[in-house]
Amino acid sequence: MAGITPAFITAFLAVGSAMALGAALANQGNTSVVPECVQACSHLAHIFGPDAYSLGNANVTLWDAKQQGTHSACWVQPSSTEDVSTILSVIIDTSCRFAVKGGGHARDPDDSVSAGGVTIDMQKMRTVEVAPDQKTAKVGSGHVLLSLYEGLEKYNLTTLGGRVADVGLGGYVLGGGFSHLSPKYGLAMDNVFEYELVLPNATVAIVNQETHPDLYFALRGGMNNFGIITHFTMRAVKQGHLLGGVRAYTADKRDAILEQAYELTTSWKNDTNMAFFYSYGYDQERDDFTLTVSQEYYLPVLSPAPFKQLNRIPFEHSTVRLDRTSRFSIESASATPPGGRNLFATVTYSPSADLDRQIQDIMAQEIQSLEKAPGFYPNLVIQPLYEAAIRSGKERGGNAAVALLTVLWKNAEDDERMNAFAQEWVERSTATTKDAGKHHPWLYVNYASKAQDPFLSYGEANLQKLRRIQKEVDPQGVFTSDGLCRGYFKLQ
């Protein structure tokens, strides 16, 4: 898109083509288009053509049915930072609403699929450039974790990535990013050395600790409030085969698992090769609970010391093995396929087997008060945030357990009671952790429900700083809750 300027774009305000597009949108039944966006889409169609512009979301992976059912005025797929800047210029010139889609794993309309506006789909931006010393890699923000892992594995490298193949690097890193490498290096966002960012005024900034210390601070956990990231320069680490996989257990093993989870979170916290998380899920058909434990060890050791006791507990089935990170991510994706309606909610507390049990029990009690719902599957994932997670761990107040309630269901008519179920769990679990004197204020934005405010949990001083930085870089409020990009979690 070399040489395209905002003035040139303005010259494309061709009334005729905008009208034709309006008719096309009406023909496809898309009546919810924001009027300003008919013009924006008309410009984008001219500039990008059919290879990168479309009216629908065919061939796009969206995880949640609520986002799948969201209609945008049009979709555009940039291939470069310059493209993103051009798109943002068009959008701002026309005052059209928009959303940015990474891997599409957010759960509500407008989070990453614009309701009636333009969806900017980053999936063509998947470059991998490894530095000569192989200690960093500059990667496109449109990667999903599988494409990123596969790109780096060619060099026997990996980076701080999550567990599931089709989760997008963009949303994952901008929120924080739990990885099997987090005990060693912190969250993914603590391992981004530089961002290439299209600012809210559509200009490009290279953001690192030296060039823009404030923005660099803000982008670590500030989500989609400061612009559109086009590239991340991230830590690269050597990675061959490693230990990974999942073991499933019947509910009668809960005491033993709780004890081991506590041991792994506390006694074994200094073995930073080790990471794990476990979950307690409800099977509505069998009216019973099952547990799964995911084992991760950075080295190719089949039964490392931290997991020796855990490995003595009889299990139902196991995928624990030595393999590549990419292969484990494909396995995890098959366990979390797209298509259902989902919500997440979270609480954080100081590690305690007793509290794990109590918040699991709260989930179980709340399930009893619900009528059966088609496709209902609640699951409580608990994973440690290790003190050894360097800067991030210290700033967030040390060793903690992060609990993520995931709720899956099928029908829209159950949305309200599913939200109420999750909210009740949050309120009761939060009160329980407070009563135990173990409440931890931090809420992971990527695990929070829309009824929670993760930015409040960053502390008043950090919140004020984030708000000040946002005012400075986005005086028009393009990325605020009243602006053009309103979805997901907003600072104001």
Ligand X SMILES: Cc1cc2nc3c(=O)[nH]c(=O)nc-3n(C[C@H](O)[C@H](O)[C@H](O)COP(=O)(O)OP(=O)(O)OC[C@H]3O[C@@H](n4cnc5c(N)ncnc54)[C@H](O)[C@@H]3O)c2cc1C
> Minimum distance from CB of 407 to ligand X (Å)?
12
Distance of CA 109 to the CA centre of its chain: 15
> Minimum distance from CB of 164 to ligand X (Å)?
4
Q: Please check whether residue 333 is in contact with residue 166, taking contact to mean a CB–CB distance below 8 angstroms.
A: yes
> Minimum distance from CB of 176 to ligand X (Å)?
6
* Residues near ligand X (CB under 6 A): 63, 99-106, 111-112, 122, 141, 162-164, 167-168, 170-172, 174-178, 224, 228-229, 336, 446, 487-488
Residue of 165, 166, 149, 167 whose CA lies nearest to 157: 149
Between 21 and 234, CB nearer to ligand X: 234
Between 22 and 384, CB nearer to ligand X: 384
Between 54 and 346, CB nearer to ligand X: 346
> Minimum distance from CB of 272 to ligand X (Å)?
17
Between 195 and 249, CB nearer to ligand X: 195
Between 331 and 361, CB nearer to ligand X: 331
> Minimum distance from CB of 107 to ligand X (Å)?
8
> Minimum distance from CB of 385 to ligand X (Å)?
11
Q: Please check whether residue 380 is in contact with residue 281, taking contact to mean a CB–CB distance below 8 angstroms.
A: yes
> Minimum distance from CB of 214 to ligand X (Å)?
18
Between 18 and 145, CB nearer to ligand X: 145
Between 177 and 304, CB nearer to ligand X: 177
Between 119 and 290, CB nearer to ligand X: 119
> Minimum distance from CB of 383 to ligand X (Å)?
9
Between 48 and 444, CB nearer to ligand X: 444
> Minimum distance from CB of 436 to ligand X (Å)?
25
